[in-house]
A and B are shown apart, each in its own frame.
Chain A
């Protein structure tokens, strides 16, 4: 569970006007950036429901783009991000949809470049966010902790192999979530840890047989 803080109610210092629709959008962009780890050449932002209806007036479109390129929630660049010279050559577009199966403030980042990836997330209120899907895999990434995410073949012993590697570096696991599409199919593991994640941990996990995808996702700054 999240440790409650005084600064939950007197922060963040942010670009207005909405913690869910502006700061939340920036934070979703930042998390997508931390997951994708490349510079996308082409981006489609697919905004759903309230994000689609009131997003323009709240700068949700600007926030998502700014976050994806590493600007923080209090950046003065967000307001004029569409005129930012460093983003001149990036090809991006927005789509606005209604889908009541999705969260009121949902977005898909459809990223093309060295690799192609679709990342989905929600802004759940007061600037808090969650990444719910990477490609076809369900995730639960909130950015509150440094997180390791991996997809692998569902079979016995995988948790033990991964946790052994983490334990060797003396890293404390704060939470561990597993999920799978179906028995014997693809499974996902989401591990939140205290402290930093050394790159050796990731490369060791990558070596485990039947691990398809591993990412170390840096937690979001306050």
Chain B
């Protein structure tokens, strides 16, 4: 068996020929590459899920501000609103939005989180998987399957582009996290392998061009709230895909487009804080007070 998986087409063809799910192929590959048991791989994934859930739990009850004093109490505010007014899109929406904020606020407080794929996008995957797990009653093994499915999407994309805002803008951070989450959601909701990848790719396709222009160079503005938006974005990808709506451009070509867009993006918009939001009048004002 040829074990290199650098494209989605390759991944799907292996799934088909082996008659296995994405997470099965990926856990076998990881075990093979690092000469460990599949059980070891799954245990490490389980540890990450535990850490993700602790971050959410801690973040849901804290109002502590970040070192800059700019952020830290948004999760509390959102929970206050939901106490008075149930969210338009129900319990899953409530959980995803608060969990994403909870995790990102833990991150900026210098508390423990799981980079997924990066620290600046650490709220998205945990919010989607945990919210869906709680509402759909997943067991531990199903949660692991979902996170490995998400990880596989990031793994394939990172064969072509580094997961860093400095390389390809926020496409490669929150964008990829959203794509990973869409695949995890499709896994949880019972999609087939092609639908899982299609869900991810629909999410990715619709954030092409997303820049990385944080105010004052901090992982706060716009990163904290952007995690909430792109967590919800992932659900849209999963819903469309499970309805059989396919991207007319194949998955690997979408990734190519993302890589090229990243290359064309001005360095001023790639984690240098020299363009976009970072140099708005108030962006500069905030930055000068840090």
Contacts and interface: CB of A to CB of B under 8 A. Distances in A.
B242 to A, nearest CB: 23
A62 B119 CA distance: 17
Given A10-B147, A57-B290, A19 B34 contact: no
B26 interface: yes
A22 B45 CA distance: 22
Given A19-B118, A126-B163, A9 B180 contact: yes
Interface in B141-168: 147-148, 150-152, 154-155, 158-159, 162-164, 166-167
A53 B274 CA distance: 13
B169 interface: no
A58 interface: yes
Contacts of B219: 16-18, 58
Interface string A74-117: 10101100000000000000000000000010000000000000
A5 B118 CA distance: 15
Contacts, number: 142
B106 interface: yes
B151 A10 contact: yes
Contact of A127 (B113, B115, B167): B115
Contacts of A125: 162, 164, 166-167
Contacts of A19: 115, 118-120
A39 interface: no
Interface residues of B, number: 55
A50 B122 CA distance: 21
Given A6-B155, A16-B106, A17-B107, A126 B162 contact: yes
A10 B217 contact: no
Nearest to A74: B112
B51 A13 contact: yes
A20 interface: yes
A125 B155 CA distance: 16
Contact of B114 (A4, A11, A17): A11
A126 B154 CA distance: 13
Contacts of B163: 8-9, 126
Interface in B33-64: 33-34, 41, 44-45, 47-48, 51
11 contacts: A9-B158, A9-B180, A10-B117, A10-B151, A11-B114, A13-B114, A16-B107, A17-B220, A23-B119, A54-B218, A57-B67
Q: Top 3 closest A-B pairs, CB basis?
A: A9-B154, A16-B107, A54-B217
